[in-house]
Structure 1
Amino acid sequence: MNKKIDRRIIKTNESLTSSLLSLMENRPIEDITINEICDLAKTRRATFYQHFKDKYDLLTYIINKIRLDYLVQGLNEIVDIKQFCTILVERSFKLFSRYRKLIKSSTSSPSFYLMEDIFTKEIMSAVKTKIDETKNFFSYPGSSIFLSNVFAGALMQVLKYSFKNGKEKEEEIIKELSLFLSRL
């Protein structure tokens, strides 16, 4: 049975999320205080700490929410691992494009590595789960752990390459990566 979440909790989480994302567009998370997040969200510090341990816990919550809302939503029905991975690639590029300003402000800070690590683990988890679900129907050239690590690492490197080389290269890179996946 699903637990219903109080609307006030949802509203508070959304407000804190929006505030942190807004602040991170101009500064890395290390330079942002809990007070600034709370002031922008019109929330008390005590309320913040009822929901999150610290600002990094909030950041982890945001990345997980983004993953659930945008990245893997609706992918459960897809059985073909190549199609699954191709869609993950396309959605990952859309996410990086959508949050380009936030990512750009964080690239020189340690928070970038935290975000990258969380995102990479989420991709690895999604791919590993899909491989494990379909291993009785398809043969794979390695274990689900190995293949999910290779895919997630390659995707992160390609995303960083695209980010450094400009938005105009995205379509070309997505096509090349899709072609590569189709030949596996």
Structure 2
Amino acid sequence: MGEKMDRRKKYTRMVLKDSLIELLAEKPIASVTVKEICELADVNRSTFYTHYADQYDLLTKIENEIIDDMNAYLSSYSFTKEDEALLMTQKLVEYITDKKLMFETLLNENGDSTFEKRLMEVARRFVMKNTMEGTDLDEQFSSYLSTYIISGAIHVIKEWIASGMEESPREIAELINHFSNRGLSYLQE
């Protein structure tokens, strides 16, 4: 009986999450109601409140799952210094590709801006740990540099998602790395 309940709970949470994501594709979280989520998920409100406090709690739980999953995903790879930046970027872009609808929705104008900041922090931690650790750069300078690089990378990814993801994850990773490593000198090559 317990296994059946666990499957039912998982299914209920999944349809509630999917319903919120579908609604966020159309409008901002402040305009989404619990009633709308429940109607779309075909779940009654008391069931919703068994799992979540409100639509913001549901959104936070979705974001937390993605951030935890992304940390685990990126941590599962080990890179050598030579290929580290490109492969880490490619793995991040592949992860986003696998969860296209989720990222497309959470990074659009209706999504929660804190998610983008949290995503940037995950990427920044990996950049700082894997590429700037061991350099003789000033810590504050390294922080500014990683913020600059990650902000640009996130916006390139957002543009790539918005334009239909025509390039492969490898091509986008290479583009981001070229911009990060060569900046405007990339245009003169």
* Interval of TM-score (by shorter of Structure 1 and Structure 2): 0.5 to 0.7
Q: Does 1:26 align with 2:26?
A: yes
Instruction: Describe the SS at the equivalent of 1:157.
Output: helix
Q: Which runs of 5+ in 1 are unaligned?
A: none
Please give the root-mean-square deviation of Cα atoms over the aligned residues, in Å: 3.7
Equivalent runs, 1:19-168 vs 2, <5 Å: 19-69=19-69, 71-76=70-75, 77-80=77-80, 81-82=84-85, 83-92=87-96, 94=97, 97-99=100-102, 102=105, 106-107=108-109, 111-112=110-111, 114=112, 116-128=113-125, 131-132=128-129, 138-139=134-135, 141-143=137-139, 145-163=143-161, 166-167=163-164
* Residues matched between the structures, number: 170
Amino acid at match of 1:123: M
Instruction: For 1:178, give the aligned amino acid.
Output: N
Alignment partner of 1:151: what SS?
Answer: helix
C-alpha distance 141-79 of structure 1, shift in aligned 2 (>3 A) = farther
- The answer (yes or no) to whether the contact 2:25–2:105 under 8 Å persists in 1 is yes
| Aligned residue in 1 for 2:15 | 15
What is the TM-score of this pair, normalised by structure 1? 0.66
Identity of aligned residues (%): 28
CA distance in 2, matches of 1:129, 1:163: 22
Report the Cα distance in structure 2 between the residues aligned to 1:11 and 1:168, rounded to whole angstroms: 29
What runs of 5+ residues in structure 2 fail to find an aligned partner? 184-189
* In structure 1, C-alpha distance between the alignment counterparts of 2:120 and 2:104, rounded to whole Å: 22
